[in-house]
Each structure stands twice: as C-alpha cells, then as structure tokens.
C-alpha cells in the first residue's frame, strides 16, 4: 500500500470534497495524511487520515471575493506554510501528493520532494475555452489598475516563493489553476462547460459528497415542508441585509426557512418569524436532503451537494468562479440567477415561486443528479489515484510521468 498526502486550501469548499476520497483510500489500506489547519482537524481525522497542522488559519480573506485578492492571499499563504509542510512531508515520505488546483504549495512541495502529484478541482476545470478566474484577462488587468497595493503584495509573495522554492510548473499568475498529469474534477461531464475541449488528463469523477460529521444539535426533525434553505457560504462575511431580505422573501412560501449565516452573527438579521431558523453553520447535506429550494452564492461544493439532492437553485453569485457556476445552472435549466445588487424581497419571492411551482426546474435538477452520481464520485477518484500511482512506478518511486506543462490542454 502507498502513502498519499493531501494538501488543500483550508476552506470548507476545498476541504469537504476531499474527505470522502481520503476515507475511501484509508478503507482500501493506504496511509493517508492531510496537511490542514486546526479548524478541519476533527473532520479529517474522522476519515482515518493522519492530520498534520499547518501554521495559521488559512488564507486571510476579507470582503467580497475577487480574482486579484485570491491571487494575493494564495501566494502569501504558500510562502507562510511551505516550510512546515515540507518538514512534515520529508518525514512521512509520501508516494503521491494530491493537491487542490488552487493550492500552490502542493505542486511546489511535489517538485521539491520529486514525487508524483495529482490535482483536484473542487471548482469546474479551466482551459482556453473555459477561462480561469485568476487567468490573465481584461477584468483582472482592470482590477490590478484599481488596486496597485494588492498587486505589489502579490508580486512580493510570488518572488519570495520563487527564490525559496522550486516553482517549476507552477503558473506565474493563474494560481487557482495548478494542473498535473492527472486532474480530478469533482463534477460530471454533463455539468462541466465545454467538457469536450479537455484532454485525457482530466477525469470528471463527479461530486464527492459525504463523510461530513452530523450536528446532533440541529433540529432536523422539526423542519416542516417545504424547506427553503439559504446560504452565502462560509468564506466571506455575508451582508446581513441580503440575508434578512432572503428571510423576508422566503418566509411566505415556506414551511421552514433555514439560513446559514457563516461568519455573520445571526442576531444581525433582527427578529425572525418562528418558522425561520438562522445559524452560523448548519449540516448542509442533511438540510438539502429535505429542501425544496436552495438560495446559494454558487460555490461549486454547495451546488454539487444541491444537485446530488436534486434541489433547484437560485444562485446569487458573489465573485470568483461563482458567476460561471450560476450561468451553467441556468443554462441546464436547474435554477435561476440573480445579481446581489438586484436582490429585493419582491424579486427573490417571484423567482423562488417559479422554482417551486414550475416542474421543469426540479426535473432538470433530478437529471443532473443522475449524471453526477453516474460519474463515480469518491470511489472513482480513488480508482484514478491508484491507477496513477501504478503508472508512476508505485511506492517509493520518483515521478516518471510527463511534466505538468506537457499535459496542459
């Protein structure tokens, strides 16, 4: 059996999809390690993987997500965590490193250790036909002109990274799109835009859902249908005015409204009707299993979990890759989209009513659920990693597969 190390950005949307894969590999007899922060230690340990703690709490996000701030945060985090991560990896001597596509310290660590690496995309996959949010673009250049201080900070961190470590193969700019000879994409070919433009190094293994600890304190038995669920994710502070508008808009249509406020204090929503529950964190897969509608920011992880439950979506994208996800949901008929600046109680109520009453939305979501599940999920991902290890020479061998540059589409 092999030793397989997982390195991901320590955020829920990046860690959660890897948990079922880790659990499956442990079940098959592999030694699995995960290098993460204390916030995810218990969830990782529950899979049977060994936890190695990284310094800090992860990328220091604040404000609404933009590709420019993401680049700055990822580069700074890579500089900060690599000494500790490399020290741990040299002791455990993994046969394979599995890193997030937006985790630049993953390919750098693989370069320094000389071991094979695979990339996992918890977002959609990106190439010339599906541009990455952090790739060079007119929008990124405009943002750079408006925020020169952020640009200088990114360039300083990127120079430090290149001076101190082997960064061959790491994109100079597009840090959210670090590719390898094997790239596992946690969605189906049906949901991936322009799937036909991706080469054989991309394996669309479907959503990786499961292995999430249950919250016994959450009153699942008290949820009355129809259950309408709203969340703007856990990375950025959600605007309490927007969350309050969601509750006002959904309450007349619901048996129960559940609102996940993330880092926003639920008290800021003000007095709520008795059938509205607002909490910082909720057991999302369990709630979605009971939901008739999901109002979401369009993070790929949450959308995957909703589609796995066959739930139509109202997507209110906040930034990063979320507008792309929103467009895909709408194009495939599984939901509707609304810009944050257009959010009003009347507008949300009207769109939610359509999603609840027009059967085509639920039918499209159910069709995508079938496609997503048929893609294979965590077992397929584990199969691909084991085959990749075999082709790479097995335990104790250095990487003999093609370099990342040679496998780019």
188 and 269 assigned to the same domain: no
Tokens of 291: 């939901």
- Provide the pLDDT for residue 397: 44
169 and 254 assigned to the same domain: no
**What's the pLDDT tens digit per position in 193-248?**
999 999 999 999 999 987 556 778 898 999 999 999 999 986 666 789 999 999 99
21 and 131 assigned to the same domain: yes
- Provide the pLDDT for residue 136: 76
Cα distance between residue 375 and residue 189, in whole Å: 8
Mean pLDDT lowest for which of 18-27, 62-71, 303-312, 334-343? Answer: 62-71
pLDDT at 369 over 50: yes
Question: Structure pTM?
Answer: 0.88
165 and 224 assigned to the same domain: no
Residue 324 within any structural domain of the chain: yes
Residue 166 within any structural domain of the chain: yes
**What's the pLDDT tens digit per position in 355-366?**
999 999 999 999
- Provide the pLDDT for residue 407: 34
- Provide the pLDDT for residue 409: 33
pLDDT at 123 over 60: yes
Expressed as residue numbers, the domain containing 301 is 220-372
Q: How far is CA 267 from CA 67, 243, 244, 280, in A?
A: 31, 11, 10, 10
Instruction: Please work out, in degrees rounded to the nearest 5, the angle formed at the alpha carbon of residue 84 by the alpha carbons of 83 and 86.
Output: 65
H-assigned helices in 235-358: 240-250, 284-288, 300-308, 322-331, 345-357
**What's the pLDDT tens digit per position in 135-154?**
877 777 777 777 888 888 88
How many C-beta atoms surround the C-beta of residue 88 within 10 A?
18
Cα distance between residue 12 and residue 218, in whole Å: 19
Domain count, the chain: 2
Count of alpha carbons within 13 angstroms of residue 88, beta-carbon side: 19
Check if the beta carbon of residue 407 is closer than 8 Å to that of residue 181. Answer: yes
Q: How far is CA 357 from CA 283, 293, 314, 353, 363, in A?
A: 26, 11, 14, 6, 12
Residues 6 or more apart whose Cβ sits within 8 Å of residue 290: 220, 223, 225, 227
Q: How far is CA 26 from CA 19, 21, 232, 304, in A?
A: 11, 9, 32, 24
Residue 58 within any structural domain of the chain: yes
184 and 265 assigned to the same domain: no
176 and 130 assigned to the same domain: yes
> CA nearest 296: which of 230, 340, 239?
230
- Provide the pLDDT for residue 84: 96
pLDDT at 130 over 50: yes
70 and 186 assigned to the same domain: yes
Check if the beta carbon of residue 71 is closer than 8 Å to that of residue 141. Answer: no
232 and 195 assigned to the same domain: no
**What's the pLDDT tens digit per position in 81-106?**
999 999 999 999 999 999 999 999 99
- Helical (H) or strand (E) element with 15: helix 12-15
- Helical (H) or strand (E) element with 314: strand 313-315
H-assigned helices in 34-147: 41-45, 67-92, 105-113, 138-146
Residue 214 within any structural domain of the chain: no
104 and 164 assigned to the same domain: yes
Residue 211 within any structural domain of the chain: no
79 and 121 assigned to the same domain: yes
Residue 407 within any structural domain of the chain: no
294 and 191 assigned to the same domain: no
Count of alpha carbons within 13 angstroms of residue 395, beta-carbon side: 8
Question: DSSP letter string over 131-197?
Answer: --TTSS-HHHHHHHHH-HHHHHHHHHHHHHHHHHS--TTS-SS-TT----SSEEESS-TTTSTTGGG
Residue 409 within any structural domain of the chain: no
Cα distance between residue 26 and residue 153, in whole Å: 40
Residue 406 within any structural domain of the chain: no
- Provide the pLDDT for residue 31: 98
92 and 178 assigned to the same domain: yes
Please state whether beta strands 227-231 and 202-204 pair in parallel, antiparallel, or not at all (unpaired): unpaired
**pLDDT tier at 392 (50, 70, 90 boundaries)?**
confident
pLDDT at 108 over 90: yes
Count of alpha carbons within 13 angstroms of residue 136, beta-carbon side: 3
CATH of the domain at 313: 3.40.50.2000
pLDDT top residue among 64 and 160: 160
pLDDT at 386 over 60: yes
């Amino acid at each position: 059996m092999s030793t397989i190390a997982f390195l991901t950005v320590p955020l829920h949307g990046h860690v959660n999809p890897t948990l079922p894969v880790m659990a499956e590999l442990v079940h098959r007899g592999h030694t699995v390690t995960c290098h993460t922060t204390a916030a995810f230690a218990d969830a990782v340990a529950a899979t049977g993987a060994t936890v190695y703690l990284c310094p800090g709490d992860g990328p220091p996000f604040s404000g609404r997500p933009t590709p420019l701030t993401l680049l700055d945060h990822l580069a700074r985090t890579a500089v900060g965590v690599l000494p500790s991560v490399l020290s741990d990896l040299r002791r455990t001597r993994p046969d394979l490193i599995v890193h997030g596509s937006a985790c630049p310290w993953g390919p750098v660590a693989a370069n320094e250790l000389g071991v094979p690496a695979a990339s996992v995309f918890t977002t959609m996959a990106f190439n010339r036909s599906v541009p990455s949010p952090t790739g060079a673009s007119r929008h990124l250049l405009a943002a750079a002109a408006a925020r020169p201080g952020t640009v200088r900070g990114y360039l300083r961190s990127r120079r430090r990274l290149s001076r101190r470590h082997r960064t061959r193969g790491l994109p100079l700019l597009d840090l959210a799109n670090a590719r390898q000879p094997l790239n596992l994409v946690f969605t189906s070919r049906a949901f991936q835009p322009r799937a036909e433009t991706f080469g054989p190094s991309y394996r669309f293994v479907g959503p990786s859902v499961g292995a999430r600890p249950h919250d016994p304190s959450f009153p699942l038995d008290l949820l009355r249908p129809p259950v309408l669920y709203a969340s703007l994710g856990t990375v950025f502070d959600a605007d309490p005015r927007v969350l309050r508008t969601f509750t006002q808009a959904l309450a007349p249509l619901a048996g129960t409204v559940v609102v996940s406020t993330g880092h926003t204090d639920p008290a800021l929503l003000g007095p709520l009707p008795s059938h509205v529950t607002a909490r910082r964190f909720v057991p999302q897969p369990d709630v979605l299993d009971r939901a008739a509608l999901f109002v979401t920011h369009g993070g790929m992880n949450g959308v995957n979990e909703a589609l796995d439950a066959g739930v139509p979506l109202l997507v209110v994208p906040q930034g990063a890759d979320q507008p792309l996800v929103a467009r895909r949901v709408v194009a495939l008929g599984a939901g509707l989209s609304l810009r944050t600046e257009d959010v009003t109680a009347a507008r949300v109520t009207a769109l939610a009513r359509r999603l609840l009453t027009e059967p085509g939305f639920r039918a499209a979501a159910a069709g995508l659920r079938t496609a997503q599940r048929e893609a294979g999920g965590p077992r397929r991902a584990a199969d691909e990693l084991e085959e990749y290890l075999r082709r790479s020479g097995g335990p104790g061998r250095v990487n003999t597969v093609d370099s990342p540059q040679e496998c780019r589409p």
